[in-house]
Chain A
Amino acid sequence: MTLKECYAALGGNYDDVLGRLPERLVQKFVLKFLNDGSYDLLCRSLEAGDRGEAFRAAHTIKGVCANLGFDALLESSEKLTEALRDGAPPQPGEEELIRRVGEDYRRTVQAIQAYQGALGA
């Protein structure tokens, strides 16, 4: 699997990111994404009802995705970020947003893991 195929699998925009960052760094940071704890933090703080912390975690995911051109996860995390902004109370449909972020996150992680596996092979 190439990096380009990985981007296709996770719903990202490979051409865009290459326009902004050198390929060497893109590869490095894509792999690093696997170790980023922001999604865990998001889940934990939502569970604990800490909406301020959840906002910051979603915001971080959004920022990282924007930089790496992970468009699918960027879109869903951006919506969740706005829903959580300024400690706003839960609105109907928030569950759906959270579910979408989870789905996109897993898809992203699976694609990167597949790419990592292909590198090792």
Chain B
Amino acid sequence: MTDKQRILIVDDSEMNRSILAGMLEEEYDILEAENGSEGMAMLQKHGTGISLVLLDIVMPVMDGFGVLNAMNKYHWIEDIPVIMISAERGSGHIERAFELGVIDFISRPFDSRIVHRRVVNTILLYAKQKKLAGMVAEQIFEKEHNSSLMIDILSHIVEFRNGESGLHVRHVHTLTEIMLRTLTQKTDRYRLSEADISIISTASALHDIGKIAIPEEILNKPGRFTPEEFEIMKTHSMVGAEMLKDLPAYQEEPLVRAAYEICRWHHERWDGRGYPDGLREDEIPISAQIVALADVYDALTSERVYKPAFTHEQAVDMILNGKCGTFNPMVMDCLRDCADQIVEELSGDSLQRRSQREMQNVARELHKHKELTASERTLELLEHERMKYSFFASLTEEIQFEYTLNPPSLLLSTWGAEKLGLPEALMDPYQDELANAIILVRDRDNLADALHSTTPGNPVVQYDCKLNVGGEERWHRIIARASWSSEEPPRYCGCIGKAMDIHSSRLHLEQLEQQASHDGLTGLLNQAYAKKRVRQRLEDRPGGRYALAILDLDNFKQANDTYGHMFGDQVLKFVADRLRHSIRGGDIAARVGGDEFLIFLEYKTDLESTIKGVYERLSGGCYEKFPISASMGVASAEAVGTDYDALFRCADQALYMVKKHGKGHYRYYHEENDQMDRAISAVSPIDGADGAGAARREEADT
């Protein structure tokens, strides 16, 4: 690592680059790019790690103005100074360059001392500016700090007039903050940012400023209010809101807006029975809902002129029992969930704890000011994040990526780039042959579509596909998060994500699926899976002409008995093989169990010729010494409808008829078969009520 500042030279002529580098390399680190697009990639990679850019205008791929446009778009031009160097003399060029934010324009031929001087000056100037921006940011923090001090003072005036201890405001502040944080962990329904929490908690101090307008004798009356007095007391919420509304200059300040909501609506209740507007449920802003509960809780647990202090448990019980009106159930959950924290924070509200909290708040303020893009602090944080990211990225063996839509560019983690054989920064990846060889266009487009159709609230996409890694197709799981701009409406501007190799687990899964769906001996589908597939087919294309056949090997029991089970298994495999070759691609063949097989097929016009063909290819000939003969029952959807169970039952019955009438042939199911079958069932004691076809056939075989 070097402490030298870095200068990026973007020029298509190697000569020109080395002339410039030759003048500057003693004092600065020099990066070189031979066109605008390469230059952009370096800017993207190094960010403000680049102290200055020397930029040519006329270049292939992306010219100097293209670079300036992009730098403007990303606001890099505000942090990274650009000096344009060109042989172009037209004043139009120079003017355009200045309009796009270059700090200086040097024409060729240049004087080395002038270039050197201007580079040094510019870098110094920017360093100074960054420092100034940092100082301005500090001043803003100071101002914020002062304004919360003002709020503190103001609200305490109210309290002292109210004869309260002065702790109420502080307690409400603490309670509000704790409950808001708990709430954000519970739900993101209210979309509360760190800044919102800070603003609402600060504004909570103002909830009772309207009490300034309430006559002192009512305000501090020890006993119960008369109805008239209560009506006057109730005006304090609206009065407070009006006071804030009368602050003409600050209506757009988030703090004033939050304070307005809180003042006006902190006596509204969830069931609509509060005042002044009788709002219900989430009509009441969440800021006011939370402060209302904090206000009630603290009133209960503090001593007042008209009541003693209740314990935490008593207070929570009273609130939960609706003694103080109803609240948002989710907010009450928050109160319950953070009970321990509340007791601890409130009981120990010592000076030390307070200053601790102030420290925490200062830290939070830093978050609040993240929009100060140019401040030194932000840049440092950014630099820190970048460092952290690249450190973790280098530790994990994952392909991590960042895709920017405009200008189209892809950044890869070092490990990922190496793994994929791509550079770490890739401009225009859609047009890049190497990149396109890694992912199928279809997968890439599916992924892009999925990312485009996310929302800022739900931006994460998971997509499994094959990637070509080092010449090998491997399954990867891509998890990506879309980046949406913060403008309204939000704009999709790219994504970050990673790709994990899930090849082996995916293969394992496929293997398990194969095992679960196939018969181990013959490799045909098993019955359960065949049933699923047949049903699927019937559902997908209900108009097709289908038939289901069940076949059974004649005298198979003899094969087992005479030659042993091993031989029997061979026969089954042999038949399964024939079966596979007797049907067409789209048809379904399965082993139902034992020596029984199932075929589901689709025919065009003539069922008989199709079935005849299949049967003739299946039945006949021998396996070694064992003659292969099959009995087959067929049911067509035309005859029995498209219900799988009906098809199966009817084919089974037709098969039963075949067995009854001498085996070795096939039959179709007809109504009359069915009736005949029933007649047989009626006279045969073996065909019990359970109607087990297999048992019947076993009987017929022997």
Contact with A along B109-131 (1 / 0, CB 8 A): 11111000000000000000000
**Does A21 contact B12, Cβ atoms closer than 8 Å?**
no
- With A20-B110, A67-B110 as contacts: A33 and B87 at CB distance below 8 Å: no
**Does B23 contact A67, Cβ atoms closer than 8 Å?**
no
Residues of chain A contacted by B110 (CB below 8 angstroms): 20, 67
- With A29-B22, A32-B15, A60-B12 as contacts: A53 and B111 at CB distance below 8 Å: no
Residues of A within 8 A of B (CB): 16-17, 19-22, 25, 28-29, 32-33, 36, 38, 53, 55-56, 59-60, 62-64, 66-69
B5 within 8 A of A: no
Distance in Å: Cβ of B541 to nearest Cβ of chain A: 56
Chain B residue nearest to A19 (CB atoms) is B111
Residues of chain B contacted by A56 (CB below 8 angstroms): 12, 58-60
In the complex, the number of residue pairs spanning A and B with C-beta atoms less than 8 Å apart equals: 63
Residues of chain A contacted by B58 (CB below 8 angstroms): 55-56, 59-60
**Does A36 contact B109, Cβ atoms closer than 8 Å?**
no
Complex: A63 Cα to B86 Cα, angstroms:
7
Contact with A along B3-42 (1 / 0, CB 8 A): 0000000001111101100110000000000000000000
Contact of B13 among A25, A55, A60 (CB under 8 A): A60
Chain B residue nearest to A53 (CB atoms) is B60
- With A29-B15, A36-B13, A36-B14 as contacts: A63 and B23 at CB distance below 8 Å: no
Residues of chain B contacted by A33 (CB below 8 angstroms): 15
**Does B108 contact A66, Cβ atoms closer than 8 Å?**
yes
Contact with A along B320-336 (1 / 0, CB 8 A): 00000000000000000
**Does B16 contact A63, Cβ atoms closer than 8 Å?**
yes
**Interface size (B, Cβ < 8 Å)?**
21
Complex: A82 Cα to B112 Cα, angstroms:
26
Residues of chain B contacted by A28 (CB below 8 angstroms): 22
**Does B22 contact A64, Cβ atoms closer than 8 Å?**
no
Complex: A29 Cα to B19 Cα, angstroms:
7
**Does B16 contact A67, Cβ atoms closer than 8 Å?**
yes
Q: Which of B13, B18, B59 has the most CB of A within 10 A?
A: B13
Contact of B19 among A38, A55, A60, A67 (CB under 8 A): A67
Contact of B22 among A25, A36, A55, A59 (CB under 8 A): A25
Residues of chain B contacted by A62 (CB below 8 angstroms): 87
Chain B residue nearest to A38 (CB atoms) is B13
- With A25-B19, A25-B22 as contacts: A20 and B13 at CB distance below 8 Å: no
Q: Which 7 A-B pairs have the closest CB atoms?
A: A63-B87, A20-B111, A66-B109, A66-B108, A60-B13, A21-B112, A64-B15
**Does B108 contact A63, Cβ atoms closer than 8 Å?**
yes
Complex: A67 Cα to B23 Cα, angstroms:
13
Chain B residue nearest to A70 (CB atoms) is B109
Distance in Å: Cβ of A78 to nearest Cβ of chain B: 8
Distance in Å: Cβ of B81 to nearest Cβ of chain A: 22
**Does A29 contact B112, Cβ atoms closer than 8 Å?**
no
Q: Other CB < 8 Å A-B pairs besides A21-B19, A56-B60, 19 of them?
A: A25-B22, A25-B112, A29-B15, A29-B18, A29-B19, A32-B18, A33-B15, A36-B14, A55-B58, A59-B58, A60-B58, A63-B16, A63-B86, A63-B108, A64-B13, A66-B87, A66-B109, A67-B109, A67-B110
Residues of chain B contacted by A22 (CB below 8 angstroms): 112
Complex: A55 Cα to B60 Cα, angstroms:
10
Distance in Å: Cβ of B32 to nearest Cβ of chain A: 15
Distance in Å: Cβ of B303 to nearest Cβ of chain A: 84
Distance in Å: Cβ of B305 to nearest Cβ of chain A: 87
